[in-house]
Amino acid sequence: MIAILISFAIFTSVFSDENILCTTKSCKDVVCPKLSEKCKAQNATHNGVFLLSPITCNCCEFCLDNLNEGEECSKGDVTDPVPKEVCGPGLVCKTNNKDSTDGVCAKMETACTNLQKSYDERGINGTAGTLEVRQDCTSEGEFVPYKCIPGQTCYCVNATGHRIFGEMDFTPLADDLLKCKCSRDYTGIAVVLGRNENATLEPLEHFRCTANGDYDSVQCINDKCFCVDEYDGAPTYPNDKLVNITDISKSTLKCYKNKKAGVFYKDCENEYIDVLKMYNKFKKNDYKKLYGFKFPKCDLDGTYQAVQENSTHKYCVDKEGHVLTSAVVDKGKDSDLAKSMDCKCARARLIITGEDKPECMENGNYAQVQCRKGRCRCVDSDGNQVCDDVNCEVDEKNSPPTCPDPDSSS
C-alpha cells in the first residue's frame, strides 16, 4: 500500500503543478529562428530530433540535426553555445581520448546493440536461425519493452532485456500494443520500498496492470478509486473526486468498463484479501505463531500466477486459477521438474490463436526442441530460437539438433 501511495503522490504532484511564469502572452513578441533543412525533411537520410526549446517558455520549435555514422561530432562543454546537431539514433560521439571533446559518430555499444551486432554477423556467416528475431533497441541503445516469437506470442521485458509480466498473442503492432510501462514500473516500486528488484509485492502494494503490461485504467487505494492513463499510470481526471469502491460504475467513474457495478478485485485478489483478513484477525489476538494460512500467488493484473502449489504438487493454472491437468508435477518424485517449473509454454498455448502452438514439457515449460513447418530448432526458456551453429536447424525427419545448455542461454 505504501508503494501505491508513493506512486500516486508523484503523479498528482506532477499534474497539479502549474507554471506561473509563462502565460499565453509570453511568446507574443518572440521571433523564432528557422528550422534547418534536415529537421524540415524528416526522412530516412535527413532528419533531426525535436526537444524543448532553450528559449524562455518553450516559445519556439527547437530541433537538432541528426548526424550520420562517420560524420564529425562534438561532445561540447558548458562554455559552448547551444548545439545545432547531435549523433543520430543508435550512434554516439566517440573521441580518441578522454580529454578530447571532438570525435566521430559511431554505433553505440550496449547490451542491446551487441545482440544486434551478433545477429548481423551470424546472418552473414549463415548461423542465424530462420525464426530468430533481430533485437530491437531504442535510439539510446536500450532494450525496447517487448520481444516477439514469430507466429506465437509477444511478451514484456525489463530494461536489461529479461522477461517480465505481460504477454499477448503475436502481433506486428507490438510497438503500439506492448508499452509494458506498468510491468516495468513494478520493479522500480520494489526498489523504492527498499527491497531488491526481484522482490514480489503483494496485490495491495502496487498499481494493477493489464494482461499486456499496461496500467489498468481503474485503480483503487484504501477502497477509493480513480482513473489513470493506461500507458503511464498518471491520473486521467486529477480534479475528479475519488469514488468509493462499492460505488464504482460507468456513471460514477468514466474509465469503468465492467457491466456490473461495484466490481474491482478479481478472484485471486479476493482470495488473497480473505486470507489476509483472517490472518490479521488472529494476529491481533496475540497469537505468537500462525500456521495453515495459504496465500494464493497473484499476477500483476490480479489474476492467478501460472505456477501454483500445495503441500505435495506444483501445477500450472490458467488466469482464472483452473488447473491445467497436462502440467502437474509431484514435488517429491520430480523435484528437478518442480524446481524449474515456470509454465510459460502452457500459458502460451492458451494465448496463441494460430495453429503453430509450442510443445511443452510435463511441467509446462518449453521443450528445448521445437518443430514447425518441417524443421526442428532449439529454443530458450521463453520460447525464442537460439542458434550458434550452422547446423542448429534440422529436417524434422532427421535426428533432433544438439541444443546449448539452457543455463548458458538464459
Q: What is the pLDDT of residues 367-408, one digit of tens each?
A: 999 999 899 999 999 999 998 766 778 898 888 888 877 655
- Per-residue model confidence as pLDDT tens digits over 162-208: 999 999 999 999 999 999 999 999 977 877 777 766 667 888 889 99
3 pLDDT higher than 60: no
pLDDT of 13 strictly over 50: no
**pLDDT at position 154, please?**
98
Cell of 269: 485478489
Instruction: Output DSSP code: residue 18.
Output: -
What integer pLDDT is reported at residue 292 of this predicted model?
64
- Find the length of the chain: 410
Quote the strand ranges of 223-334, DSSP E. 224-227, 243-244, 307-309, 313-317, 323-330
Rounded percentage of the chain residues whose pLDDT exceeds 70: 90
**DSSP-assigned beta bridge partners for residue 235:** 228
* pLDDT of 8 strictly over 60: no
The DSSP bridge partners found for residue 74 are 102
pLDDT(246) > 90: yes
List, by residue range, all CATH 2.10.80 domains of the chain: 2-9+36-107
- At 96 the pLDDT is 87
Among residues 160, 161, 233, which one has the least CA distance to residue 3? 233
Q: By the 8 A CB rule, do 145 and 213 touch?
A: yes
Q: Are 364 and 316 in contact (CB under 8 A)?
A: yes
93-104: string of b/e by CB count within 10 Å (b at 16+)? Answer: bbeeeeeeeebb
Q: Is the pLDDT of residue 16 over 60?
A: no
Mean pLDDT, residues 72-94 taken together: 88
351-361: average pLDDT: 95
Is residue 230 scored above 80 in pLDDT? yes
User: How far apart, in whole angstroms, are the C-alpha atoms of residue 276 and residue 294?
Assistant: 9
Q: How confident is the model at residue 111 (pLDDT cuts 50, 70, 90)?
A: very high
Q: What is the number of alpha carbons within 13 Å of residue 383 lying toward its C-beta?
A: 31
Residue 343 vs residues 212, 256, 272: alpha-carbon distances, Å? 17, 32, 21
* Residue ranges of E strands in 136-223: 146-148, 153-157, 163-169, 218-221
> The pTM is what?
0.83
pLDDT given for residue 410 in this prediction: 47
CA 197/CA 194 separation, integer angstroms:
9
By percentage, how much of the chain surpasses pLDDT 90? 67
Query: Pairing mode, if any, of strands 91-95 and 102-107?
Result: antiparallel
Residues of each domain in the chain carrying CATH 4.10.800.10: 307-409
Q: Is 214 within 8 Å of 181 (Cβ atoms)?
A: yes
Quote the mean pLDDT of the chain.
89
**pLDDT tens by residue, 307-323:** 999 999 999 999 999 99
Contacts of 87 (CB under 8 A, 6+ apart): 66, 67, 71, 73, 93, 105
Reduce the DSSP state of residue 160 to 3 states and report it: coil
Who wins on pLDDT, 342 or 25?
342
Which tens digit of pLDDT belongs to each residue from 29-61? 899 999 999 999 999 889 999 999 888 899 999
Which residues is 209 bridged to in the sheet? 215
DSSP summary character for residue 17: -
Please, which pLDDT band fits residue 366 given cuts at 50, 70 and 90? Answer: very high
Half-sphere exposure in the Cβ direction for 293 (13 Å, CA): 17
Nearest one of 132, 131, 104 to 118, comparing CA atoms: 132
pLDDT band at 358 (very low <50, low <70, confident <90, very high): very high
* Long-range Cβ pairs for the range 194-202 (8 Å, 24+): 201/3, 202/272
| Residue pointed to by grid coordinates 456513471 | 251
CATH architecture of 2-9+36-107: Ribbon (2.10)
Q: Which backbone phi and psi does 27 adopt, to 5 degrees? A: -100, 5
67 within 8 A of 106, measured Cβ to Cβ: no
307-409 is a CATH 3.40.50.2300 domain: no
Of 141, 140, 136, nearest to 172 by C-alpha is 136
Please work out, in degrees rounded to the nearest 5, the angle formed at the alpha carbon of residue 88 by the alpha carbons of 84 and 94: 90
